């Protein structure tokens, strides 16, 4: 620091201390959940020794953007993620959005499709057409894109478990629309490692799943030059509760693993790496999210050097972003419009290539056309009115932003080095390392909110005086399922059964061969042409690969550790002691996920926190049927079942659970629900026998207190 700067800095310190009076200047510094120190003031001195500071957009290491001119030449793609009910309804929704300014499609599939089940499968009773569009055959896919020219429209598909039949159906739908494979543009997510970490919509075990990933990379590299073979996703990690550094590290480590996987197929790095893409969540920490996108490009460029690419595009990270679903709150829901706007700005200022903005009502239900329009227009206003497109990387050179970017990259690099010591991301996933770290981070975040260390406006601070009722989109799951079953029946009658069976047998035989001898997508496309269904193609592979069953583990001591030195848990813990002395055992809860909903952040947090508080807690396996959950509850002699719901299947699955309990002879087990459940559904569930419902933002100690009282009331009545 030169004399002049030193003098200016000393003067600032004096003035700051004078304004603070009895408060120490150091008290203005804070630490992020990643441990990164945030100072109240950054200066030119913070730029020293930062290698990237003189970089330019469009040139290695691409920190300032993958393209030289960025939005000054062409704005980001507005790609709203949507899909619900039937292909017909989703198609109408897409066309309306395209007419109103949307420039790319992003397809959400229902959970039955994700998990490789046809709509008539008994395990998907409450999942068909909920949280996404139901796709059973090529005909559904053709209907989905009817009147939408696939040679012109870029299509992103969030699909991982059933990625082979879904991509095969898309290819055949394009063919039958008159669009050859080489003209199709878009992205298939195809990121299975993330599924084993957080989202859980896997089908097969890790090894054959990685084979499928590499086959798709190989096939698209040869026959689909305009199509991105994989979208390496950090989004679901942040939604599951990861810190920013964890999302960055685990996502890029996944990317490296996929590169190695493709190389093992005999591909050269420059044959596929230019078509790799990424997908990040954008949370409410404004500056950190900008730093993450800038840092991701820098770090990816560094990581790719080990593979000696010759094509600059192989080292160029391109990304889609989506505003956070986890930051949306049920309480005071119109606040979510503000949150999404701030997050969209972070994404744009960080240099994303495409963006989805969440609708304000998604903490309650699927978005309505009204809320979806506001979400889409948020992007249009940013692009057309604000002037943010005029200057490339406007935060470039900022003392704070450049230092924050560097610090975040360093934290991510530490984690990547840990993963490398384990033998890479596949080995780390098998050991449960990233999953455990994310669950710990999620639990700590919930504890910080519950004890008010982290403010959420309208939830733990400045709550509204009255509860706002918001119109929601309600999908008749039973009706959609009936429609899909009818369509399936028609297809099965019309198709050539011999050709279907022959193509499925060929797929099975290919799956039995060593990975480098065959390409499974090729055989899946043949099966789709013959009108084999998503479920049939998935089943054919399952006979060879088996279906993966995850081992459920919880973390302990993490939630309560955040309350050290605070009184927040003392009352509830004393209640549990009294309960134990009165009834001879602790209150016992079974936490369950019903149907094909693999989003288990809420379930894991409840299980962990309630165990830390003093409950005896059992966790049901993922993808339970209501009858299976009822059986487990009775066998474990629990007082209460906590049903965690996020995918809108509660109106079908929870009544089935209550029926199963009654059928199996239970009279005493209490059923409570939590998660994304519209307030409009509360009466329906309570009329069916649900004792209490807890929406997003529920304070956990308060909920535990309520549940203890419910159990005691039940026992007193029984006595």
Q: Which residues are designated catalytic?
A: 81, 235-236, 593, 597, 599
Kindly state the helix (H) or strand (E) to which residue 427 belongs, with its residue range.
helix 425-431
3-state secondary structure of 641: strand
Rounded CA-CA distance 400/404 in Å is 6
State the Cα torsion 11-13-19-20 to the nearest 10°. Answer: -170
Rounded alpha-carbon distances, angstroms, from residue 237 to 195, 254, 255, 302, 530: 9, 12, 14, 22, 37
3-state SS, residue 132: coil
User: Token match 């470039």: residue?
Assistant: 396
Calpha distance 158→550 (Å, rounded): 21
- What are the angstrom distances between the C-alpha of 210 and each of 186, 207, 234, 260? 21, 5, 18, 11
CA distance 214 to 229: 9
DSSP letter assigned to residue 469: P
C-alpha of 388 from chain center: 27
For tokens 């910080």, the residue is: 448
- Using H for helix, E for strand and C for coil, what is the string for 16-75? HHHHHCCCCHHHHCEECCCCCEECCCCCHHHHCCCHHHHCCCCCCCCCCCCCCCHHHHCC
Token pair of 416, please? Answer: 């990547």
Contact 643, 672 (CB under 8 A): yes
């Amino acid at each position: 620091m030169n004399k002049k700067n030193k003098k200016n800095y000393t003067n600032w310190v004096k003035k700051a201390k004078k304004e603070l009076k009895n408060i120490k200047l150091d008290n203005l510094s804070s630490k992020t959940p990643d441990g990164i120190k945030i100072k109240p003031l950054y200066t030119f001195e913070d730029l020293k020794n930062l290698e990237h500071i003189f970089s330019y957009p469009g040139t290695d290491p691409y920190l300032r953007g993958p393209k030289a001119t960025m939005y000054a030449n062409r704005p980001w793609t507005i790609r709203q993620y949507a899909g619900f009910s039937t292909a017909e309804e989703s198609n109408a929704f897409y066309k309306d959005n395209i007419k109103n300014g949307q420039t790319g499609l992003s397809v959400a599939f229902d959970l039955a499709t994700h998990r490789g089940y046809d709509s008539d499968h008994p395990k998907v009773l409450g999942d068909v057409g909920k949280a996404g569009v139901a796709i059973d055959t090529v005909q559904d896919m053709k209907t989905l894109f009817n009147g939408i020219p696939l040679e012109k429209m870029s299509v992103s598909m969030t699909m991982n478990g059933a990625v082979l039949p879904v991509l095969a159906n898309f290819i055949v739908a394009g063919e039958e629309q008159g669009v050859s494979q080489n003209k199709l543009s878009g992205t298939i997510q195809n990121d299975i490692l993330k599924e084993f970490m957080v989202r859980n919509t896997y089908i097969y075990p890790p090894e054959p799943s990685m084979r499928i990933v590499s086959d798709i990379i190989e096939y698209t590299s040869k026959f689909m030059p305009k199509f991105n073979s994989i979208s390496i996703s950090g989004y679901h990690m942040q939604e599951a509760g990861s810190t920013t550094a964890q999302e960055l590290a685990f996502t890029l480590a996944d990317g490296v693993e996929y590169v190695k996987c493709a190389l093992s197929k005999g591909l050269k790095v420059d044959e596929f790496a230019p078509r790799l893409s990424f997908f990040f969540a954008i949370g409410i920490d404004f500056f950190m999210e900008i730093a993450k996108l800038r840092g991701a490009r820098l770090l990816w460029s560094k990581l790719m050097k080990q593979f000696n690419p010759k094509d600059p595009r192989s080292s160029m990270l391109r990304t889609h972003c989506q505003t956070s679903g986890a930051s949306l709150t049920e309480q005071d829901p119109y606040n979510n419009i503000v949150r999404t706007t701030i997050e969209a700005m972070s994404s744009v200022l960080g240099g994303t290539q495409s963006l989805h903005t969440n609708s304000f009502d998604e903490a309650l239900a699927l978005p309505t056309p009204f809320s979806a329009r506001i979400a889409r227009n948020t992007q249009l206003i940013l692009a057309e009115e604000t002037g943010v497109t005029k200057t490339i990387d406007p935060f470039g050179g900022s003392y704070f932003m450049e230092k924050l970017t560097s610090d975040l990259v360093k934290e991510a690099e530490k984690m990547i080095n840990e993963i490398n010591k384990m033998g890479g991301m596949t080995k780390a996933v098998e050991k449960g390392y990233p999953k455990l770290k994310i669950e710990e981070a999620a639990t700590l975040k919930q504890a910080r909110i519950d004890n008010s260390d982290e403010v959420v406006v309208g939830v733990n601070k400045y709550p509204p005086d009255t509860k706002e009722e918001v119109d929601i989109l309600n999908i008749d799951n039973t009706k959609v399922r009936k429609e899909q079953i009818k369509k399936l029946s028609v297809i099965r009658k019309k198709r050539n059964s011999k050709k279907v069976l022959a193509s499925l047998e060929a797929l099975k035989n290919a799956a039995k061969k060593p990975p480098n001898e065959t390409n499974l997508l090729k055989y899946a496309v043949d099966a789709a042409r013959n009108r084999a269904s998503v479920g049939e193609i998935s089943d054919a592979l399952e006979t060879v690969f088996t279906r993966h069953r995850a081992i459920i583990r919880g973390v302990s001591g993490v939630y309560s550790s955040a309350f050290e030195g605070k009184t927040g848990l003392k009352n509830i813990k004393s209640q549990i002691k009294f309960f134990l002395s009165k009834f001879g055992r602790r209150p016992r809860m079974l936490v369950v996920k019903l149907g094909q909903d693999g989003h288990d952040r809420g379930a894991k947090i409840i299980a962990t926190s309630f165990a830390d508080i003093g409950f005896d807690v059992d966790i049901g396996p993922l993808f339970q049927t209501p009858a299976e959950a009822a059986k487990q509850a009775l066998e474990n002699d629990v007082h209460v079942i906590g049903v965690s719901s996020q995918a809108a299947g509660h109106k079908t699955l929870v009544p089935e659970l209550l029926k199963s309990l009654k059928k199996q002879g239970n009279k005493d087990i209490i059923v409570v629900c939590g998660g994304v459940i519209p307030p409009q559904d509360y009466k329906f569930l309570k009329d069916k026998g649900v004792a209490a419902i807890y929406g997003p933002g529920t304070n956990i100690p308060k909920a535990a207190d309520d549940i203890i009282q419910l159990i005691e009331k039940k026992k007193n009545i029984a006595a």
